[in-house]
């Protein structure tokens, strides 16, 4: 009997961890972008400061995920993949999730303001953007994806604020366009996977079509590549940065291959964590950027 209770306790603990969606935290790595491009990645104090900011964003983003899971509980139970989430599967009750969320929110907010007052407001802006998205914007075509992209802009801005560096408008533009690319790719995969049930799972999908999304992806892909190329030519501190265009080009093409040929894209974090060629490409991009910027 005691062994059964211990097993149930372990399952419950793992379910609470899963409720936080740690795989989604990979998106918060965008906070490190200003650290890299401002040539401060070799300063341990700055690295630790951004790491603390990363943890704060992980906490607040997990709070948002819990809120979304509570709000979309009934829809998630009918979703082919989301029904396996702890809340939708009934492993964690709605009340337990609410208590956990109420605990996470003030803790993450307090830690953010303690790290840096301005950074705290960025985190609160991120929270507000997500609440507006969940309650309203997610049902407005195009604005839904733009709201998601704004979240990435706030991540990059937060990373710059905590180490007191000016943020390049080019970096913000490239981040925004890349986030749009990921967002529209996600919508495309949702249309394919859910098919005729798409509208019942996510109402906004009735306003999208594959043809429209493909056109948007074509525009965003071209804009992203042009913006990053111009950034390496004119805004980067080293002209040799143009070498990294090759990695960005391959990364976008590889991601498109996965979206179109493997019919994936609904979970960008799964692709970024599991596709070895893409992971290796990103690592090579980071290493090459470090060598060029810090030589």
Per-residue pLDDT reduced to its tens digit, 244-278: 999 999 999 999 999 988 877 667 888 888 899 99
**Domain boundaries along the sequence of the chain:** 24-167, 169-295
CB distance 88 to 21 below 8 Å? no
User: May I ask the CATH class of domain 24-167?
Assistant: mainly alpha
3-state DSSP call for residue 265?
coil
**Rounded to a whole number, what is the distance in angstroms from the first to the last CA of the chain?**
62
Residue 259's nearest CA partner among 222, 212, 210 is 210
Q: Residue 186, Cα to own-chain centre: how many angstroms?
A: 12
Going from the C-alpha of 215 to that of each of 144, 150, 209, 219, the distances in angstroms are 17, 21, 10, 6
CA distance 75 to 20: 19
Which pLDDT score, from 0 to 100, does residue 122 have? 97
| Measured distance CA(21)–CA(162) in Å, rounded | 25
Residues, the chain: 295
Three-state SS for 217-284 is: HHHHHHHHHHHHHHHHHHHCCCHHHHHHHHHHHHHHHHHHHHHHHCCCCCCHHHHHHHCHHHHHHHHH
- Three-state SS for 287? helix
Using only C-alpha atoms, what is the Rg of the chain?
20
Contact call for residues 244 and 36 (beta carbons, < 8 A): no
Tokens of 106: 């003030």
DSSP result, 187-208: HHHHHHHHGGGHHHH-GGGGG-
Show the low-confidence residues of the chain (pLDDT under 50). Answer: none
- The predicted pLDDT at position 191 comes to 84
- The per-residue pLDDT for range 75-113, each reduced to its tens digit, is 777 766 777 777 777 778 888 888 889 999 999 999 999
- 240 exposure class (CB count in 10 Å sphere: 0-12, 13-18, 19+): middle
Short-list 55, 52, 64, 51, CA closest to 100: 64
- What confidence score (pLDDT) does residue 94 get? 85
**Whole-number pLDDT of residue 198:** 52
């Amino acid at each position: 009997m005691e062994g059964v209770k211990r097993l149930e306790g372990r399952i419950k603990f793992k379910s609470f961890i899963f409720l936080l969606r740690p795989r989604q935290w990979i998106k918060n790595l965008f906070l490190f972008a200003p650290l890299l491009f401002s040539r401060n990645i070799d300063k341990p104090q700055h690295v630790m400061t951004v790491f603390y900011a990363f943890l704060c964003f992980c906490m607040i983003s997990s709070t948002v995920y819990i809120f979304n899971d509570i709000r979309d509980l009934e829809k998630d139970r009918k979703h082919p993949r989301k029904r396996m989430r702890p809340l939708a599967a009934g492993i964690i009750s709605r009340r337990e999730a609410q208590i956990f969320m109420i605990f996470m929110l003030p803790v993450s907010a307090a830690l953010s303001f303690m790290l840096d007052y301005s950074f705290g407001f960025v985190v609160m802006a991120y929270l507000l953007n997500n609440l507006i998205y969940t309650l309203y914007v997610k049902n407005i075509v195009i604005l839904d994806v733009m709201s998601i992209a704004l979240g990435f802009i706030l991540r990059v801005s937060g990373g710059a604020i905590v180490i007191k560096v000016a943020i390049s408008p080019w970096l913000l533009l490239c981040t925004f366009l890349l986030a749009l690319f990921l967002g529209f790719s996600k919508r495309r995969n949702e249309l394919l996977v859910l098919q005729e049930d798409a509208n019942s799972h996510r109402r906004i999908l009735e306003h999208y079509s594959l043809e429209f999304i493909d056109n948007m992806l074509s525009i965003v892909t071209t804009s992203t590549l042009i913006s990053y190329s111009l950034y390496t030519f004119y805004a980067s501190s080293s002209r040799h940065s143009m070498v990294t265009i090759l990695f960005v080009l391959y990364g976008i093409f590889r991601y498109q291959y996965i979206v179109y040929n493997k019919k994936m894209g609904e979970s960008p974090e799964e692709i970024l964590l599991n596709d070895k060629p893409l992971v290796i490409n990103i690592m090579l991009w980071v290493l090459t950027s470090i060598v060029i910027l810090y030589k």
